[in-house]
Structure 1
Amino acid sequence: MERRKFLQQSTLAGLSSLAFGSAVANTVAKEDEKPAAANTFNLNYAPHDGMFTNTVGKDFLDQIKYMHEQGFRAIEDNGMMGRDVALQEKIGNLLAKLNMTMGVFVIDAGDNWKTSLTTGKAEFLDRFLAECKKAVEVAKRVNAKWMTVVPGYFERRLPIGIQTGHVIDALRRGSEILEKHNLTMVLEPLSDNPDLFLRTSDQTFEICRAVNSPSCKILFDIYHMQRNEGHIIEHMNWAWEEIAYIQIGDNPGRKEPTTGEINYKNVFKHIYNKGFKGVCGMEHGISLPGKEGEARLVQAYREVDNFLSK
């Protein structure tokens, strides 16, 4: 081969290699430049309706799509039982398409915020059981597994042990309904006011053990338990065998993690290390208004979810 032709071909080959290498480098760079929000999280955090209305509007379906874009792979919706059937079906279909998990909705017989199951009265029990049966149908439409249950207020004319017995009896009856469909009620101890019967994780643990059903477990809301008992990790460890669902909220203020006193990075690392594969519901408000607050919400979860870095 003539020297000049050899040099020309060598030069062209070199340029082709450089171009190919540059294209590969650009492709890798673009992949590396994907925003962090496109990635999923270490734990399965679940936003709820209304968290991204300033960014994408009030349509819950649009919000779910946006949640997925931000890396969330679950939702929760306390008021799901109150939505019309057509919307429930649309939500269920969208979650299936996006491979997202449906978190809790509330079994609310209308008595959650007054004296109810503690009384042992048939009127409250019958209404509760009827709602459990309705919840089964809702769960089928949205592919849900967990339903929140709150027993109601103290019945202060009865000894605490009698009230507890009434609650256990009612929850056993409800569990019989849910067990047939592999569904789980999760009992939520609350801190909203001193009249609520169910207040601590150890009390809820005791009731779950007495009900003795895979369909009756604990919803451990970190915000409420920080207010009522503190020592979050220790109490979580004690009740762990009965905990099926976790909810989030910083204290004081019940806003997103990083806004209060709870070290959520440590708490989440602990939950992760214990092998928790369930849903962590974002049961809280947002500290800042508008789109800025919604962007900050996602960033806060990125920060506290970064617990595996060295």
Structure 2
Amino acid sequence: MQRRDFVKSTLGLAGAALAGKAVAGNESAQPRTVAKNQFKLLYAPHFGMFTNSAGKDLIDQLKFMADNGFQAIEDNGMMGRPVEEQEKIAKEMARLNMKMGVFVVDKGGNGQNTLAAGNKDYVDIFLNGCKRAVDVAKRVNTKVMTVVPGDFQRNLPIGIQTGHVIDALRRGADILAPHGLTMVLEPLSDTPNLFLRTSDQTYEICRAVNSPACKILFDVYHMQKNEGHVIPHIDWCWSEIGYFQIGDNPGRKEPTTGEINYKNIFKHCYEKAKAENKEFIWGMEHGNSQPGKEGEIALIKAYVESDSFAV
């Protein structure tokens, strides 16, 4: 029987098992189960999110995530990990029946080598990152990786910059597509210097690249800050969305801590994806609103609450 078949949604158990026994066969391990939940969506925590409950060991953190109903993870820094560590993580995820979400393509476009500039050296750095990402993706069994094109090149007209970005991404897509891999472009709100900032801009670029290897990473936190009107924008861009990320606003913490109605967003996307036989990973790219084990329990409870929509 699959691990997820044992997982039942019980908000009242949250925190109770922290005082319970260690996992059988490993009495010295820290107790892992906080709440057993069967989530409707593939929410993906990241390493470091549950260190107070699971400890610093990455494998123990994976076990804790799985024990609490999370069926996926994401790890932005995966490309920087030693090969042996990547393989160890992938092996344990396979055992736990967990899916791997995004990692960030190393030097895949940033302020120092923006793709908007049309600089051959910058594009070569990006393409080299794509080539190296192929091996990492196969090693950790994922199909998606994050690309951020970088900053505006302010001495060039916006149309020229957009053309440069499209040209570079087409070449990147040519590297990834034969392996069934997809780069997901993330519009961000961190600084106004960033070239890619809205979902409709990203949609336009994906349509121009015209490849299954180039889609949108729709980070609800960033899009709430930059454009709002979240559900209509999701609908408008739906055909080009390949991945979602989560964070409430303000604060970039777990759902229920800010102004975004994640229960409605999750329900809308769940029903829309189910109707089309699609499945998305939802990366939990946010911090914890409260410190310590109590904060980690509160985070899990927030996901239980936000995932409790009727279907």
Band of TM-score, shorter chain: 0.7 to 0.9
The question of whether the paired residues in 2 share the 8 Å contact of 1:115 and 1:155 is answered with no
Look up the match of 1:89.
Answer: 87
Deviation at 1:59, TM superposition (A): 1.3
The question of whether the paired residues in 2 share the 8 Å contact of 1:115 and 1:154 is answered with no
Look up the match of 1:284.
Answer: 286
CA distance in 1, matches of 2:300, 2:136: 29
Correspondences of 1:138-153 after superposition (within 5 Å): 138-153=136-151
Look up the match of 1:133.
Answer: 131
Look up the match of 1:230.
Answer: 228
- What is the SS of the residue equivalent to 1:71? coil
Encode CA deviations 1:185-238: one digit per residue, 9 max, x unaligned.
000000000000000000000000000000000000000000000000000000
The question of whether the paired residues in 2 share the 8 Å contact of 1:246 and 1:280 is answered with yes
Look up the match of 1:102.
Answer: 100
The question of whether the paired residues in 2 share the 8 Å contact of 1:245 and 1:279 is answered with yes
Look up the match of 2:176.
Answer: 178
Look up the match of 2:63.
Answer: 65
Look up the match of 1:215.
Answer: 213
Question: Does residue 1:303 correspond to 2:311, yes or no?
Answer: no
Look up the match of 2:42.
Answer: 44
The RMSD of aligned alpha carbons is 1.6
The question of whether the paired residues in 2 share the 8 Å contact of 1:40 and 1:73 is answered with no
CA distance in 1, matches of 2:108, 2:302: 35
Correspondences of 1:151-170 after superposition (within 5 Å): 151-170=149-168
In our comparison, the structure showing a higher alpha carbon Rg is: 1
CA distance in 2, matches of 1:286, 1:241: 31
Deviation at 1:32, TM superposition (A): 10
- 199-208 vs 104-113, which moves further: 104-113
**What letter is aligned with 1:170?**
A
Evaluate the alpha carbon distance shift between residue 32 and residue 201 of structure 1 in structure 2; reply closer, same or farther with a 3 A threshold: closer
Look up the match of 1:23.
Answer: none
CA distance in 2, matches of 1:111, 1:218: 15
Deviation at 1:108, TM superposition (A): 2.4
TM-score, structure 1 normalization = 0.87
Correspondences of 1:193-272 after superposition (within 5 Å): 193-272=191-270
| Runs of 5+ consecutive residues of structure 1 not aligned to the other structure | 1-30
CA distance in 1, matches of 2:256, 2:223: 17
**What letter is aligned with 1:92?**
A
Deviation at 1:38, TM superposition (A): 2.1
Evaluate the alpha carbon distance shift between residue 32 and residue 71 of structure 1 in structure 2; reply closer, same or farther with a 3 A threshold: closer
CA distance in 1, matches of 2:89, 2:268: 32
Deviation at 1:277, TM superposition (A): 1.1
CA distance in 2, matches of 1:32, 1:287: 22
Encode CA deviations 1:21-57: one digit per residue, 9 max, x unaligned.
xxxxxxxxxx998957323201110000100011111
Aligned length: 279
The question of whether the paired residues in 2 share the 8 Å contact of 1:39 and 1:71 is answered with yes
Look up the match of 2:295.
Answer: 293
Encode CA deviations 1:62-86: one digit per residue, 9 max, x unaligned.
1011000000000000000000000
CA distance in 2, matches of 1:92, 1:163: 38
More helix by share: 1
**What letter is aligned with 2:310?**
L
- 37-46 vs 153-162, which moves further: 37-46
**What letter is aligned with 2:281?**
V
Identity of aligned residues (%): 67
